Structure 1
Amino acid sequence: MSVKSNTNYIADKQTEGKIDFSLLPWEPIREIIKVYMFGATKYERDNWRKGSAWSQWYAAILRHLTAWIEGEDNDPESGVNHLAHAAWGCLTLLWFSIHRKHFDDRPRYKEAINGN
């Protein structure tokens, strides 16, 4: 008898509408965590949370993507994959878009607040 044929032995668990973390691909997530760990050693833990101009993060993301597309897989300083660095930068910008909006220095944003 299969488990599916007799639901009396299956606990009822409501999952509808809940975030399903099991969908995350853990191998790349581990690589991104290595970037966080490198930064915590180089600067200090959670230093990035202080925030800074979004354009600085965008530029760093592009540098890592450019190095990767030109054939360099790993960042020479950290030894971690450039794509993990770029993904980390994107996650950081996403976090800033929620928690550090005052550092938004995108050109269209600057024009809007200056009335242009």
Structure 2
Amino acid sequence: MASLWDCEKCDYNHYEEGVKCVSCRHRQSWADEGKKDDSSKLRYSLLPVGTVNQVVQVLEYGSIKYSEGNWQKVPNARTRYYDAAMRHIDAWWNGEKVDSETGLHHLAHAICCLMFLMWFDSEAADD
């Protein structure tokens, strides 16, 4: 994207794409720093460290136990995944941190269920 800048060498003020002055062809020093226009993009670095890995571990476990994408084909899925999410949240709330079958955090299981529910909502909106 083009921007307004003053040349460090000749003080020429111009609007131009690129990094060379149109007047003296001086290469701007900020050009060596690199540029990435991502200020309006999602910042996944805001996610707490390690939590996404636990959610993916739950998804991996499910893909091995059932099959990849099986959750999308479960009959009455919205109710069943709501129930499952609530069971995992309740277990966590009552002091049980880890699911006894998988050895993975109950909240990671609940997050997966809630993500499935979000996906089902977005699919229903597309219909």
Q: TM-score, normalised by structure 1?
A: 0.73
Displacement of 1:26 after TM fit? 3.9
* Structure whose CA Rg is larger: 2
Q: In the aligned structure 1, how far is the partner of 2:101 from the partner of 2:31?
A: 56
Tell me whether 1:13 sits opposite 2:39 in the alignment: no
Q: Which residue of 1 aligns with 2:61?
A: 38
Moved segments of 4+, more than 4 Å:
none
Secondary structure, aligned partner of 1:88: helix
Q: Deviations over 1:56-107 (max 9, x none)?
A: 11110110011111111111011100010011111111111112x29xxxxx
Aligned-pair identity (%): 33
Q: Which residue of 1 aligns with 2:105?
A: 81
- The partner residue of 1:61 within 85, 108, 116 is 85
Q: In the aligned structure 2, how far is the partner of 1:26 from the partner of 1:95?
A: 24
Displacement of 1:8 after TM fit? 4.1
Q: In the aligned structure 1, how far is the partner of 2:81 from the partner of 2:118?
A: 11
Larger fraction in helix: 1
Displacement of 1:34 after TM fit? 0.9
Amino acid at match of 1:94: M
Q: For structure 1, list consecutive stretches of 5 or more residues without a partner in the other structure.
A: 1-5, 103-116
- Which segment is superposed worse, 47-56 or 23-32? 47-56
Q: Which residue of 2 aligns with 1:114?
A: none
Q: Which residue of 1 aligns with 2:47?
A: 24
Q: Which residue of 2 aligns with 1:93?
A: 117
Larger fraction in strand: 2
State the superposition RMSD in angstroms.
1.9
Higher relative contact order (CA 8 A, sep 6+): 1
Displacement of 1:51 after TM fit? 4.7
Please tell me whether the aligned partners of residues 51 and 96 of structure 1 are also in contact (alpha carbons under 8 angstroms): no
Tell me the number of residue pairs that the alignment of Structure 1 and Structure 2 aligns. 96
Q: Deviations over 1:10-62 (max 9, x none)?
A: 11221132222332334010000111011111111111122542111111011
